[in-house]
Amino acid sequence: MTADYQQMNGIALAYMGDAIYEVYIRRHLLEEGLTKPTKLHHTATHFVSAKAQAFLIEKMQEQELLSATEEEFFKRGRNAKSHTSAKNTAIMTYRISTGFEALFGYLYLSGQEERLDQLAQWCITTVEREGKK
């Protein structure tokens, strides 16, 4: 990767992380046998909405799942000045979800595929276990 993730702002990291996390979720849903576009989209929102991502970060922090460096990249995304805002979402929830995406962007751009796989699987399991209460 030619881009230096160390120097990237939180919004750029989140831009990449959003796409990476989405691929994990889409692959998971297809592996679960979902094929209808409406059902795929509706189910995906349980995993990829700002609210879901903020919930997942909260759980990660409760369980002390993140390393100090991962926490730093999460904060870089959370604290980044965005010129957009989420539809139907509180500003703080949106900012936390941006941090979540920045974390995934950092892991991807720094080549940490094993850690990325591990966290994505943890997220999927957590949403399926706790997110559908």
Indicate which residues carry an active-site annotation. Answer: 18
Rounded Cα distance, 7 and 96, in Å: 20
| pTM for the structure as a whole | 0.91
**Residue 1: is its pLDDT beyond 70?**
no
From the list 71, 123, 128, the residue with the least C-alpha distance to 102 is 71
Rounded Cα distance, 98 and 86, in Å: 10
Q: Which domains does the chain have, with CATH numbers?
A: 10-130 (1.10.1520.10)
**Residue 133: is its pLDDT beyond 50?**
no
- 39 compared with 6, residue with greater pLDDT: 39
